[in-house]
Amino acid sequence: MFSFLEIRQNLGYFSLWTALLPSSLPTHVPQPVLDACPGYHATNISWDSGRLTAELLLAGQGCNIFGEDRRSLALTVVYETNERIHMKISDSYADRYEVPESVLPRPDASAPVSPDSAAIRFNFTTSPFSFSIVRPSTDEVLFSTASFPLIFEPQYLRLKTILPDKPNIYGFGEHTNPFRLPPDNLTLTLWSRDSYGIPPGTNLYGNHPVYFEHRTTGTHGVFFLNSNGMDIKLSNADGPTTLEYNAIGGVLDFYFLAGSETDPSAVARQYAEVVGLPAEVPFWSFGLHQCRFAYKDFADVADVISKYAAANIPLETMWTDIDYMDRRRIFTVDPEYFPLNRMREIVDFLHSHDQRFVLMTDPAVPFAPGDLDYAPYHRGKDLNVYLKAANGSDFIGLVWPGATVYPDWFNPNTTEYWNNEFKIFYDPETGIDIDGAWIDMNEPSNFCNLPCHDPFQQAIEQNLPPPKSHPAPDPNAPIFQNISTTVLESRDVISEAVFAVQPAADIPPEVLRRPDDILSPPYAINNAAGPLSAKTALSNAVHANGLSEYDTHNLYGTMMSSATRKAMLARRPGKRPLIITRSTFAGAGAHVGKWLGDNLSTWEQYRFSIAGMLNFATVFQVPMVGSDICGFGGDTTEILCARWAMLGAFYPFMRNHNNDASISQEFYIWDLVADAARNAINIRYRLLDYFYTAFHQAHLDGTPVLHPLWFKYPKDTDTFAIDLQFFFGDSILVSPVTEENSTSVDIYLPNDIFYDFISLAPVEGTGSTVTIDNVDFTTIPLHIKGGAVLPLRVESAATTTALRKKDLEFIVAPGRDNNASGKLYMDDGESIKPDEITSVGMTFKEGRLDVTGVFGFATGVSVARVKFLNIRNPPQIVNVNGAIVGTRAYTYDAVNKVLDVRIGAAFDGNLTIEFS
């Protein structure tokens, strides 16, 4: 430990040392040194209604730890709504990078509210400057920088707050950690990287600098709007628990969200007001998706489709990874292995059977100046849309096709370019008529090892693009067979001389001469790949608007997502696209869904997938999310794949996908897995209208589609750490078996009434852990939370199109107060603005169910039955729409206490069922 005097005395020596040795700056400065910096004091303070401004002046000799402390800062605080405070600290005299509004539009702040009416308050001390966020209704301090000086240097920003003991912190992704973050000296690094195996404790593909903190007295949120690389540190060593932000650029731009004292989901809705509401997805996208990186040719793809049908496992969408491309080049098909006419035949077959097709599209465009036949490169070159190197030439990296260039999403011509390539290659009449888009490698990934002076030589050394290892099929082979004949022609090697003569772009000279060290900044974040530029675009690469990758790197995937959504909408105006991406930033859910990357076929990652899914669906406002079922890397096992098929049926995005070095794992490979998949999909499909309704609500106001247990039981401290159970939608409690080879699972049942999903029998929770035994490998424990009215289809179907023709039934699961409610939203399943909708509410009280609402969309189905649960005695009278029905119209199960009333009425108007 250092005394305060010793720290002060050493600061001068430390500053001198760092000035003399700029290339050797330490990145792990002792916390006492940082905490002893002088900070700032506030002056020129001005209040104007709900807006505060002030100047922050350096309060002494600067620490100058990672650069010179800025002498004067500008503070702005705005009470944007009663639940949201926006605070920004920037340099008073120098422009600094901020996340562009074109990437993340800011919420309206034109009409600040009075602090007197706000649910949270901004309090501050002038000298040394510190601030706190307080909930006045409880006098709780939610965020406080007291005792921790603000540090603001050109390439290092530090802000630190104290937290409660053993805090309940959720968020800060993307990472592989428990859902409730451990506060024991945890560093979370935000810097997009290609992270095979999604190793725990490292930075992964996406960047979401937001967290929710939950207490028994309420839930609040904090969003740090900054896209620069950063380390976020949770620590409880040598004192109170703290949260520390360490960013290598930008400004301190924070949104503080009041949340709620009673409803944790309120903070999610408030966050959606800042980053945008989730995009709606088509109904078919909730079906089962199948993919593999290793389908060797068109016949192989067709064979998988036919085997799913033969196994009677509903396959909604077939996907194809980069295998289909000619020499791994985007917007091409391999003429021998995946010829266009055969691929169109597969797509036509799928569409004629009400199934769908999705292809991979990477951002990297092959660098092919000498290949005039590869038009996508030349069209991009003609529009000058590629990311630039620091010298103004096109930046060249190395990805699957070899040397590549990268679209610059800030370039105003890139939308035209991307839209046109999608229009040409995915043309329904002449190209491949995809139903959704899959975008990958968009961190952006770069295989070129630093210092990467010669990507062309590294392409040869890494054998990129990789040659085919098997013969090509007969181009006229019957569609579900594979007859091998020829091999793929290898690519030509482009010389480095071509690389050297790229023309410079019109980039301002002052940008190229940026004084900061943006290749090796003085503070090195804990990037698992090493230097900032390792395995990605160089951090000094420059965009058309002069911004560098140093600042915008973490935005690349989301900007590609937005551009791809525009391209898909241009192909099919008015139709909701399904787009699944790998790299994300805050706000990505307004454009796309997300899969959790290249996971492994392990029980540990099976378990971690739940926390990852909850982060995106519950905190980050990216609800269309799921992991590769059965795992991407490594060999799965029969039992793991069976369990994962069942868990995966309760991911919003359900896809089986693995890599070329693993064994096949399609659900039909093992009889056990096939049974598990059929059982789980049967339940999922029957619940799809219920889940579709949840997604529609999320699109309207940001209410999450998945809920951790503490969302429903915010006072129950035993729920706060649970991340192996979750609520699918509002009311289906999912409790998967999570241990290898086990046929039992310990689950937590809060103090509430639940119902077994299969038997519908009531189950009283007592706020304790219970053991469920005899859970065979083809079932998953599910419970209905009391107080729900669930809309289900009476049975499953082979496709979602066929499913929508099945009749409905309602399950009334009363709470302990004997009341229940629910919602059902239906439309055509694909239009962004449907012409007609059906939206109803279901309310049960005192033995009466009312289904009322708007019935504009013609569903074409009937309500087959209504099942009332926990009915203690058989009824004497049952009344349907005012008419008494005979005893043949209903049955009563005395064992499970279920009253089953057969209705058979068209679902086109209000419905009332009453019994006594």
Own/partner long-range contacts of 569-572 (Cβ < 8 Å, ≥24 apart): 570/419, 570/422, 570/423, 571/422, 571/423, 571/426
* Other CB atoms within 10 A of residue 916 CB: 10
pLDDT at 845: 98
Torsion sign across C-alpha atoms 612, 617, 620, 624: positive
Mean pLDDT of 200-216: 97
pLDDT of 634-688, one tens digit each?
Answer: 999 999 999 999 999 999 999 999 999 999 999 999 999 999 999 999 999 999 9
Residue 474 scores a pLDDT above 70: yes
Please provide the DSSP assignment of 84-150 as one string. Answer: EEEEEEEESSS------TTTSPPPP-SSPPPGGG-SSEEEEETTTTEEEEEETTTTEEEEE-TTS--
pLDDT at 508: 41
pLDDT at 507: 38
Mean pLDDT of 196-215: 98
Mean pLDDT of 60-88: 97
Among 514, 547, 519, CA closest to 411: 547
- Pairing outcome for strands 898-906 and 862-869: antiparallel
Among 664, 649, 671, CA closest to 312: 671
Please provide the DSSP assignment of 854-899 as one string. Answer: EE-S----EEEEEEEES--S--S-EEETTEE--GGGEEEETTTTEE
Residue 44 zone, left/alpha/beta (φ > 0; ψ -120 to 50; rest)? left
Q: How confident is the model at residue 237 (pLDDT cuts 50, 70, 90)?
A: confident
Mean pLDDT of 349-360: 98
> How far apart (Å, rounded) are the C-alpha atoms in residues 19 and 272?
44
pLDDT of 539-562, one tens digit each?
Answer: 999 999 999 999 999 999 999 999
> How far apart (Å, rounded) are the C-alpha atoms in residues 425 and 556?
23
Q: Which of 443, 752, 827, 830 is catalytic?
A: 443
CB 614 within 8 A of CB 626: no
Q: Give the whole-number percent of the chain exceeding pLDDT 90.
A: 90
> How far apart (Å, rounded) are the C-alpha atoms in residues 586 and 716?
30
Burial of 656 (0-12, 13-18, 19+ CB in 10 A): buried
pLDDT of 805-833, one tens digit each?
Answer: 999 999 999 999 999 999 999 999 999 99
Mean pLDDT of 610-621: 98
pLDDT at 27: 57
Mean pLDDT of 288-313: 97
> How far apart (Å, rounded) are the C-alpha atoms in residues 149 and 157?
11
CB 806 within 8 A of CB 795: yes
- Told to judge if 440 belongs to the known catalytic residues of this protein, a careful annotator would answer yes
Q: Give the whole-number percent of the chain exceeding pLDDT 70.
A: 93
Residue 16 scores a pLDDT above 50: no
C-alpha pair distances (Å), 399 with each of 446, 462, 533: 6, 10, 15
C-alpha pair distances (Å), 141 with each of 257, 720, 852, 906: 13, 20, 44, 55
Whether the model clears a pTM of 0.75, i.e. scores above it, the answer is: yes
Please provide the DSSP assignment of 16-83 as one string. Answer: HHHHH-GGG--S---HHHHHTS--EEEEEEEEETTEEEEEEEE-SS---SSSPPPSEEEEEEEEEETT
CA dihedral 647→650→651→654, nearest 10 degrees, is 80
> How far apart (Å, rounded) are the C-alpha atoms in residues 526 and 524?
6
Higher-pLDDT residue of 18 and 850 is 850
pLDDT at 516: 77
Among 713, 702, 693, 748, CA closest to 264: 713
pLDDT of 731-749, one tens digit each?
Answer: 999 999 999 999 999 999 9
Mean pLDDT of 716-727: 98
**H/E stretch holding 639:** helix 638-648
The owner of tokens 């991911």 is 651
> How far apart (Å, rounded) are the C-alpha atoms in residues 116 and 337?
68
Please provide the DSSP assignment of 226-270 as one string. Answer: --S-EEEEEE-TTSS-EEEEEESSS-EEEEEEEEESS-THHHHHH
CB 158 within 8 A of CB 525: no
pLDDT at 491: 27
State whether residue 729 is helix, strand or coil: coil
Q: Which of 440, 675, 730, 752 is catalytic?
A: 440
Read off φ and ψ for residue 797, nearest 5 degrees. -160, 170
Residue 366 scores a pLDDT above 80: yes
Which of 24-33, 324-333, 571-580, 663-672 bottoms out in mean pLDDT, i.e. has the lowest?
24-33
CA dihedral 648→652→653→658, nearest 10 degrees, is -20
Residue 478 scores a pLDDT above 90: no
Per-residue exposure over 197-220, b if at least 16 CB sit within 10 Å of its own CB, e if not: bbeeebbbbbbbbbbbbbbeebbb
pLDDT at 5: 30
| Tokens representing residue 875 in the block | 């009824």
Residue 505 scores a pLDDT above 90: no
Per-residue exposure over 248-257, b if at least 16 CB sit within 10 Å of its own CB, e if not: bbbbbbbbbb
Own/partner long-range contacts of 128-134 (Cβ < 8 Å, ≥24 apart): 128/38, 128/39, 128/40, 128/41, 128/59, 129/39, 129/40, 129/41, 129/42, 129/56, 129/59, 129/75, 130/39, 131/87, 133/85, 133/220, 133/256
Q: How confident is the model at residue 15 (pLDDT cuts 50, 70, 90)?
A: very low
CA dihedral 516→518→520→522, nearest 10 degrees, is 40
Mean pLDDT of 573-586: 98
Q: How confident is the model at residue 291 (pLDDT cuts 50, 70, 90)?
A: very high
> How far apart (Å, rounded) are the C-alpha atoms in residues 909 and 903?
13
Q: Which of 598, 628, 723, 752 is catalytic?
A: 598
Q: How far is CA 86 from the centre of its chain?
A: 24
In the chain, what is the greatest distance between 2 CA atoms, to the nearest angstrom? Answer: 94
The owner of tokens 């005792």 is 147
Among 277, 213, 249, 226, CA closest to 87: 226
pLDDT at 666: 98
Q: How confident is the model at residue 513 (pLDDT cuts 50, 70, 90)?
A: very low
- In angstroms, how far is the first alpha carbon of the chain from the final one? 74
3-state helix, strand, coil in the chain (%, to 5): 20, 30, 50
Q: What is the CA radius of gyration of the chain?
A: 29
pLDDT at 503: 36
Among 807, 908, 809, CA closest to 858: 908
Read off φ and ψ for residue 89, nearest 5 degrees. -125, 120
Please provide the DSSP assignment of 555-586 as one string. Answer: GHHHHHHHHHHHHHHHHSTTBPPEEEES--BT
CB 170 within 8 A of CB 615: yes
pLDDT at 239: 83
- Pairing outcome for strands 317-320 and 289-290: parallel
pLDDT of 302-338, one tens digit each?
Answer: 999 999 999 999 999 999 999 999 999 999 999 999 9
CB 864 within 8 A of CB 808: yes
Higher-pLDDT residue of 115 and 27 is 115
In sequence order, what are the beta bridge partners of 770?
747
- Told to judge if 773 belongs to the known catalytic residues of this protein, a careful annotator would answer no
| Tokens representing residue 487 in the block | 């091999």
Q: Average pLDDT of the chain?
A: 93
> How far apart (Å, rounded) are the C-alpha atoms in residues 379 and 423?
13
